[in-house]
Homo-oligomer: A and B are copies of this chain.
Amino acid sequence: MSYNTFGRLFRFTTWGESHGPALGATVDGVPPMLDLTEADIQVFLDKRKPGQNKYTTQRREPDAVKILSGVFEGKTTGTPVQLMIENTDQRSKDYGDIAKTFRPGHADYTYMAKYGIRDYRGGGRSSARETAARVAAGAVARKVLGDGVTIRAAMVQMGRSKIDYDRFDWDEVNNNPFFCPDAEMAAQWANELEAIRKAGSSIGAVIEVVAEGVPAGWGAPIYSKLDADLATALMSINAAKAVEIGAGFEAACLTGEENADEMVPGKDGKPEFLSNKAGGILGGISTGQPIVARFAVKPTSSILTPRKSVNLDGEATDVMTKGRHDPCVGIRAVPIAEAMMAVVLADHMMLHRAQCG
């Protein structure tokens, strides 16, 4: 977690800007002898790909990944895996008018304040296109984890409309354009988001990501806690403003009796938990229960309604963003969340093996 690198042992560095020639991820520390093809990665990139329906940006990118290194005859070699995605639909002209203006809610001003320079084309490095590289790295992480660990995410809230957890059905997630696990709510969101889209507005969302099959013992105390690593992983996603594990903020409202997940003797001599308020993590270490995290993403700041701002010369101006944008960026955050869960777990699987054999 330094600069543009995530992870300790399973580590990847992403690079590239929205409107540069390409972007990618340099994935290092990958165990050898894993089967890995471009198709294994492409399937996850396709879930995140823009332009798939009217609710996501109409930028059309094939997002075709190329493996440039680290794989030989279909297997990882233990050396760095370079994953490159070429940018093909850049339309720099769309963004020319924002070169000298700081868009509210965007990173325009802060990049300028930090670096004294910014690649304003499509947001440059701060664009959510960077997340394509995360998704690619996440696909490699899944290979490291193997089939025993299942990672799935879903959008569980859009604006104030939350799903009904009694209707939660993972199979439903791929039946609608929202990755919504509640068919009824998906229908409602379709109406709500269409109205928002037509108004040139945008809306926030909450995504839940769950990992099943993680054995007890992954993670580490104090400053490498599994939940703390998930927190940084999810908060690093563009537009994320909040993260919670298990009961999350609701834990503040609980008594000790309500919060403590009781245990009874289970199979194989391992304890069986009667609830999962902990979200699968105690003391920073996995309990063997499903690991459950949620995070909130703010509405995209690119909207048609003019907002007050200032320009490079410090003068007042109004900003209205035309361009091509997602009315709810939460939708495309779903495959990104899965990727970030995967990379955190792969890193901790390797850390655990290193220390505890």
Are the C-beta atoms of B82 and A206 separated by less than 8 Å?
no
Majority DSSP secondary structure for residues of A touching B: mixed
Cβ A232 vs Cβ B241 within 8 A: no
Contact with B along A144-183 (1 / 0, CB 8 A): 0000000000000111100000000000000000000000
**Chain B residues within an 8 Å CB radius of A220:** 3, 114
What string of 1s and 0s marks CB contacts (under 8 Å) between A302-330 and chain B?
11010111100011100000000000001
Question: Known contacts A77-B115, A111-B283, A221-B4; is A9 also within 8 Å of B354 by CB?
Answer: yes
A202 → chain B, closest Cβ, in Å? Answer: 4
Q: Is A43 an interface residue (CB 8 A)?
A: no
When A241-B279, A256-B303 are in contact, do A222 and B3 touch as well, CB less than 8 Å?
A: yes
In the bound complex, what is the Cα–Cα distance between A106 and B285 (angstroms)? Answer: 11
Chain A 27-68 residues near chain B, CB threshold 8 A: 28-33, 66, 68
- Kindly list 16 other residue pairs between chains A and B, CB separation below 8 angstroms, not including A5-B223, A241-B244, A265-B315: A1-B228, A13-B28, A15-B26, A17-B72, A31-B355, A32-B356, A105-B261, A106-B282, A110-B216, A113-B288, A114-B220, A114-B352, A157-B252, A236-B284, A243-B244, A354-B354
Residues in chain B near residue A26, CB distance under 8 A: 4, 13, 15, 26
The answer on a CB contact under 8 Å between A117 and B32 is: yes
Q: Is the Cβ of B105 less than 8 Å from the Cβ of A201?
A: no
How far apart sit A233 and B224, CA to CA, in the bound complex (Å)?
10
Q: Which chain B residues border A115 with CB–CB below 8 Å?
A: 32-33, 77-78, 356
Across the interface, do A283 and B110 meet the contact criterion of CB distance under 8 Å?
Answer: yes
- Nearest to A101 among chain B residues (CB) is B263
Shortest beta-carbon distance, A54 to chain B, in Å?
Answer: 17
Write the nearest CB–CB distance from A18 to chain B, whole angstroms. 10
Which B residue's beta carbon lies closest to that of A279? B241
Neighbour of A3 across the interface among B15, B22, B29, B263, CB < 8 A: B29
The reply to whether A117 and B77 contact each other, CB–CB distance below 8 Å, is yes
Docked-complex contact A20 and B260, CB < 8 angstroms? no
B3 in contact with A109 (CB, 8 Å): no
Q: How far is the CB of A291 from chain B (nearest CB, A)?
A: 12
- A304 CA to B254 CA, complexed, in Å: 16
Contact A20 B256 (CB under 8 A): no
Q: Mark A193-214, 1 if CB is under 8 A from B, else 0.
A: 0001000011111100000000
A278: Cβ under 8 A from any B Cβ: yes
A356 & B241 in contact (Cβ 8 Å cutoff): no
Instruction: Please tell me if the beta carbons of A72 and B251 are within 8 angstroms of each other in the complex.
Output: no
A141 within 8 A of B: no
Q: Is A90 an interface residue (CB 8 A)?
A: no
A117 touches B33 (CB 8 A): yes
B2 pairs with A223, CB closer than 8 A: yes
Is residue A227 within 8 Å, beta carbon to beta carbon, of the partner chain?
Answer: yes
Contacts of A314 in B (CB 8 A): 265, 269-271
Pick 21 A–B contacts, CB within 8 A, sort by A: A2-B224, A3-B11, A4-B224, A9-B9, A9-B355, A15-B28, A16-B80, A32-B116, A77-B115, A77-B124, A78-B114, A78-B115, A78-B356, A107-B283, A228-B235, A231-B243, A242-B243, A256-B302, A256-B303, A262-B309, A263-B309
Given contacts A15-B70, A247-B298, A263-B102, contact A118 B1 (CB under 8 A): no
Contact A244/B203 with A263-B104, A302-B256, A354-B9 known, Cβ cut-off 8 Å: no
